[in-house]
């Protein structure tokens, strides 16, 4: 079966930066996406379009094609009092309340510095500014189920059953 619109694509991957340093891989985790759903990088989908299980490839994505350039305006300082005594730690990530995200989508903020008075938040993607090399192996291609299409993600055996309210 060839990968096309609404295919469930299950794959192995690793990501390296421009120095060949391994940033992440799926290891033994099941990972996959719904082809054409726009939930993964366009360059990634394009590389796998019409391919089949067993296909392996290496794709290199520039910052423009991957997670963008580092943006200084996404580094902000917030008074620690704004966190109302919440337990904070370095590299902790959180998403602003709905409505505060701009039209570019939801921003995940990471605590990059933790002072006594102020907290520095970095809204850049951890891979911003990086040219990324993806090694990909397509493991399985099947048709996404109606439920998966509705959720916008794949379900794997052993996953906790879940519902989405929206």
Q: Strands 32-34 and 56-61, how do they pair?
A: unpaired
Q: Tally Cβ neighbours within 10 Å of residue 145.
A: 12
Q: Which of 79, 151, 156, 160 binds Zn ion (CB under 5 A)?
A: 151
Q: Could you say whether residue 30 binds Zn ion (CB under 5 A)?
A: no
Residue 30 or 151 having the CB closest to Zn ion? 151
Name the residue whose CB lies closest to Zn ion: 151
Q: What is the spatial distance between Cα 6 and Cα 85, in angstroms, rounded to a whole number?
A: 45
Interface segment toward Zn ion; rule CB under 5 A; list 5-13, 99-107, 122-130, 148-156: 148-156
Write the binding mask 103 to 142 for Zn ion: x where contact by CB under 5 A, - elsewhere: ----------------------------------------
Q: In the bound complex, what is the minimum distance in angstroms from residue 155's beta carbon to Zn ion?
A: 6
Q: Tally Cβ neighbours within 10 Å of residue 41.
A: 17
Beta strand residue intervals within the chain, DSSP E: 7-16, 22-25, 32-34, 56-61, 75-79, 93-95, 108-114, 118-122, 132-143
Interface segment toward Zn ion; rule CB under 5 A; list 80-88, 110-118, 137-145, 146-154: 146-154
- Give me the residues that bind Zn ion (CB under 5 A), please: 151
């Amino acid at each position: 079966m060839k990968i096309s619109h609404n295919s469930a694509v299950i794959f192995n991957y690793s990501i390296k930066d421009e120095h060949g340093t391994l940033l992440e891989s799926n290891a033994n985790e099941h990972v996959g996406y719904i082809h054409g759903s726009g939930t993964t990088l366009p360059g990634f989908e394009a590389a796998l379009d019409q391919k089949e299980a067993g296909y392996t490839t290496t794709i290199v994505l520039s910052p423009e094609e991957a997670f963008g350039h580092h943006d200084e305006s996404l580094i902000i300082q917030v008074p620690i009092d704004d966190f109302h005594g919440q337990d904070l730690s370095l590299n902790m990530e959180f998403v602003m309340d709905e409505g505060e995200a701009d039209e570019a989508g939801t921003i995940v903020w990471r605590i990059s510095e933790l002072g006594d008075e102020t907290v520095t938040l970095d809204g850049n993607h951890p891979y911003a500014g990086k040219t990324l090399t993806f090694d990909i192996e397509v493991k399985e291609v099947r048709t996404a189920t109606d439920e998966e299409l509705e959720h916008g993600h794949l379900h794997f055996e052993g996953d906790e059953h879940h519902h989405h309210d929206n």
